[in-house]
Amino acid sequence: MSIRRAPRFSITKAIGVGVVFLVSASGAELESRASHSHGGLPLVGAVLVHRTVRYDVSRPLASQRESADGTAVADCEGAGCGTSPGASLDDPDAEQERKPDEVIPPPTPPPTLSPAGIAVEQRSQGSRPAAPLLESFDGLGAGFEGPQGTTTFRNPSDNSLAVGPDHIVQTVNSRIAVYSKKGRKYDRSGTVLYGAVATKSVWAGFGGVCEARNNGDAVVRYDQLAGRWLIVMPIFSRIGPGDFPQKPSRTPGEAIPPGQLAKSGEASSPGTAAALPANPPQPPPPPERGPKKPEAKEGVWGMCYAISTGPDPLGTYYRYAFERPLFPDYPRPAVWTDGYYVASSSGDDVIQKHACIADRAKMLVGQPATEQCIVIDGVNFLNNADVEGRVAPPAGTPNIMMAAGGTQLKNIFDDDAIYFWKVHVDWNQPANTKAEGPVKIKVAPYHYLCNGQLSSCVPQPGTERRLDVQGDKLMQRLVYRKVGGHESIVAAHSVATQGGGGGVRWYEFRLDKKGDPELYQQGTYAPEGFYRWMPSIAMDKKGDIGVGYSFGGLPDFAGLRFAARRAGDPKDVLTLHESVLATGEASQTNTLRWEDYTTTALDPSDDCTFWYVGDYLKAGDTGYRTRIGSFRLPNCKGGR
């Protein structure tokens, strides 16, 4: 382990093969991170600057063969590992199957709701005709087969989807696939062009942990501002100091550091003369017989990035690996002008989040890049505003980061606010990087659906098994859209309703002259007392709002639906009748885990078409399959 110093950074400390810089928000010098706070974890509020461990340009993805599926050993197990426990287990036995003697938890009792929260419930469907289903096809999951064959799929699906000019890219847990999209290049949507392969195949030939360890929770985005694809994959098993003993990527011509052997063609750095070390001390006497003391777990985690070099997801990628000092669970990437913002959770047994920003400008051209991260304690799951469309926010605009209130670990399931931070990143002076907040935005009171995540919630026909709803958090994505003369942010989460089922609470915030979000409209979509949960919301170029979600509750099997409103319609109401993407035909009995998250995204070809993906089961299925579909509101026309 070595210490390196660089201009403008207070402290540098090498961790394994990566480099982490600690910078205090005030610019004051900090000690090495190992001496700070809770057992060597990073200081809360400090800015951590991570240099890339390695970076390169890949071969075309279409030519990449799936990397060998070595299984990483889980370094954490149980609730402490977050919503995606353990490492990436490619073994089909890793799926969370219910054991015969496993006790199914009882359903969560219904809460007492406030009149103000009940008042915003929409208990009947909109009167306008439903948005027509334009295209739909099955994606990754049961029944899937592509050029690379089929594979085993794990619960939960962690469904992520992105749409480009000619392609659709989907990830589920630890697998990825690329599909055709009808338009100028293909005559139909849904043809599997690549997959299913392990997500780590994107980093085949890259070396290091990103190539070696396949992981769940990968997320894909299409950066409309740049016309590029962004794929982010966390590393859930610790990276020990000697696991990948290679130096961080060097610029061309940069000398090998002193003390390392140069390969043929590399410049060396002669070291200074030094005396031979003294003889080592004699070993201690052997210990008495007895139980072996557990070894301390050491090492860091990681985050892997791949940014396409053009609009073709089957082409080449700029690839990056960063080390993370905290467990990087449930990453939620967002595109902003000055960075790729990726918030994550440190685990489900701690109330702590990790807000990180990667240097988008450097990564778009394949240059050495850094991540800047801030540890934030005592907050719910964070989401950063994600730009929708090609109209960028004004230059220098801070990114808006939001979270729901309440704290599940403290049995606080209610709140009457959404909280926001304004995040500013300074790539030249990291000490100036900051997250200002939280600031309270008062909304109608809400209660987490079924008291939050990993709970026994949605009933299914023919089984005692109920489904989880992830009711404690704002769901992906937190969408920013500049429409006409205003800037909007839309968000959604799952809440308890008076009818006894669950509803989609949705919001539109608008930025004021100071760039602060204010509540513009809100509603809880909860017709007929069924369960609607796991929403993902988006906004088209006209300001129309669409939201996809799971639908269920007796006597129905879990399926997928979509509701929407036109921009000029009366506020606080989803005015279009519900559309059906998929009707469930079977119950999921192997686990309560359901999706964890899904995605609704806009088609960049017309900026009008909503694409949504989620889970359902057909008759005879024993595991989930996914359905991908598109909708368009009649008042939004193609072209820009």
- Mean local confidence (pLDDT), 26-53: 57
pLDDT at 543 over 60: yes
Asked whether residue 256 is domain-assigned, the answer is no
Lowest mean pLDDT among 26-30, 262-266, 623-627: 26-30
- Segments forming the whole domain that contains residue 496: 12-86+107-249+298-390+397-631
Cβ contacts of residue 629 below 8 Å, gap of 6+?
A: 133, 134, 135, 136, 137, 560, 562, 581, 582, 611, 612, 613
User: Are the C-beta atoms of 371 and 414 separated by less than 8 Å?
Assistant: no
**Is there a domain that residue 612 lies in?**
yes
pLDDT of residue 635 exceeding 50: yes
Distance separating alpha carbons of residues 202 and 103, to the nearest angstrom: 39
Task: Please give the Cα distance from 635 to 542 (Å, whole number).
Answer: 8
Domain membership flag for residue 95: no
Number of H helices, E strands in the chain: 3, 33
d(CA 151, CA 133): 29
With cut-offs at 50, 70 and 90, classify the pLDDT of residue 299.
confident
User: Rounded to whole angstroms, what are the CA distances from 35 to 22, 247, 297?
Assistant: 12, 24, 17
Copy the structure tokens of residue 622. 């024993």
Q: Binning pLDDT at 50, 70 and 90, where does residue 105 land?
A: confident
Per-residue pLDDT of 241-287, as tens digits, reads 888 765 445 555 555 443 333 344 444 444 343 344 444 444 443 33
Backbone angles phi, psi at 409, to 5 degrees: -65, -20
Q: Among 161, 198, 205, which Cα is nearest to 176's?
A: 198
Average pLDDT over residues 480-498: 96
* pLDDT (0 to 100) of residue 638: 73
User: Span 69-96, mean pLDDT?
Assistant: 40
**With 60 as the cut, is the pLDDT of residue 34 above it?**
no
Q: Taking residues 311-320, what's their average pLDDT?
A: 98
Who contacts 250 (Cβ-Cβ below 8 Å, separation ≥6)? 256
Residue recorded with tokens 């309703």: 497
- Mean of pLDDT over the chain: 84
Residue type for 474, please? L
Q: Is residue 262 part of a domain?
A: no
Work out the angle at residue 582's Cα, subtended by the Cα atoms of residues 578 and 588, and round it to the nearest 5 degrees: 120
- pLDDT value of position 251: 54
Would you say residue 492 has pLDDT above 60?
yes
Q: Express each pLDDT in 572-619 by its tens digit.
A: 999 999 999 999 999 999 999 999 999 999 999 999 999 999 999 999
Look at residue 530 and tell me if it is in a domain.
yes
Tell me the CA distances in angstroms from 616 to 191, 196, 583, 625, one per residue in order.
20, 19, 7, 6
Q: What pLDDT, on the 0 to 100 scale, is given for residue 41? A: 60
pLDDT of residue 40: 55
Q: Tens of pLDDT along 180-210?
A: 999 999 999 999 999 999 999 999 999 999 9
Per-residue pLDDT band at 444 (split at 50, 70, 90): very high
Distance between CA atoms of residues 631 and 285, nearest Å: 73
Cis peptide before 115 (omega within 30 of 0): no
593 falls within a domain: yes
* Single-letter amino acid code for the residue at 549: Y
- Asked if residue 483 has pLDDT above 70, the reply is yes
With a CB cutoff of 8 Å and minimum separation 6, the contacts of 279 are none
User: Angle at Cα 440 formed by Cα 438 and Cα 446, nearest 5°?
Assistant: 120
d(CA 442, CA 312) in angstroms, rounded, equals 43
- Residue range 68-91: average pLDDT? 40
Q: Is the peptide bond before 510 cis (omega within 30 degrees of 0)?
A: no
| Element containing residue 363 per DSSP (H, E) | helix 360-363
619 burial type by CB count under 10 A (0-12 exposed, 13-18 middle, 19+ buried): exposed
Structure-token match 């009366």, residue found: 570
Q: What is the pLDDT of residue 254?
A: 54
346 by Cβ neighbours in 10 Å (0-12 / 13-18 / 19+) ranks as: buried
Is 269 among the domain residues? no
Domain count, the chain: 1
> CB of 215 within 8 A of CB of 174?
yes
What per-residue confidence (pLDDT) applies to 250? 52
Residues in the chain: 640
Q: Which of 56-65, 247-256, 417-426 has the lowest mean pLDDT?
A: 247-256
Which of 7-21, 169-183, 286-300, 424-438 is predicted with the least confidence, judged by mean pLDDT?
A: 7-21
What is the pLDDT at residue 79? Answer: 38
At 243 the pLDDT is 84
pLDDT tens column, 374-402: 999 999 999 999 999 999 999 899 999 99
Domain assignment present for residue 158? The answer is yes
